[in-house]
Amino acid sequence: MAYDSDNVFAKILRGELPTNKIYEDEYCIAFPDLNPKTPVHVLVIPKGEYTDFSDFTARATPAEIAGFFKSVGKVAQQLGLPEKGYRLVMNIGHDGGQVVPHLHVHVLGGKKLPV
């Protein structure tokens, strides 16, 4: 699927839509999910134009991929989640339930999550 530069996360990255950015570095930005499913629910998105995990792993450089996942770890650390634990979720494509076609990692925590 071609990248749709009109998706909401692309607009957030370009500063065309407001968000309460909680973290930013050269690889990503992170901001609270608009409809949080857990007490802590943050989205981490890469700065590059990737539709989903498959597109990211196919086209991004190893440095971008490593940098992005290190950044996800830093976000979780900043949120104070590692001590008690947390969950990372990536919905991928239609069957995966992905709604916004820009790769994003859901960082979920703040309570004991159901298995």
**Three-class SS of residue 18?**
coil
Stretch that binds ligand AMP, among 53-61, 67-75, 94-102, 107-115 (CB under 6 A): 94-102
> Order of strands, edge to edge, in the sheet holding 87-89?
23-24, 28-32, 40-46, 105-109, 87-89
Residue selected from 7, 38, 54, 98 as contacting ligand AMP according to rule CB under 6 A: 98
Residue selected from 2, 63, 99, 115 as contacting ligand AMP according to rule CB under 6 A: 99
Q: Rounded to 5 degrees, what angle do the CA atoms 112, 33, 79 make?
A: 55
- Closest separation between CB of residue 101 and ligand AMP, Å? 8
Catalytic residues: 104
- Closest separation between CB of residue 59 and ligand AMP, Å? 19
Residue selected from 7, 8, 53, 69 as contacting ligand AMP according to rule CB under 6 A: 8
Within 48-87, the residues that bind ligand AMP by CB under 6 A are: none
In angstroms, the Cα distances linking 95 to 10, 16, 33, 91, 106 are 22, 29, 21, 9, 17
Give yes or no for residue 39 binding ligand AMP (CB under 6 A): no
Beta 105-109 vs 87-89: how paired, if at all?
Answer: antiparallel
Residue selected from 3, 23, 33, 79 as contacting ligand AMP according to rule CB under 6 A: 33
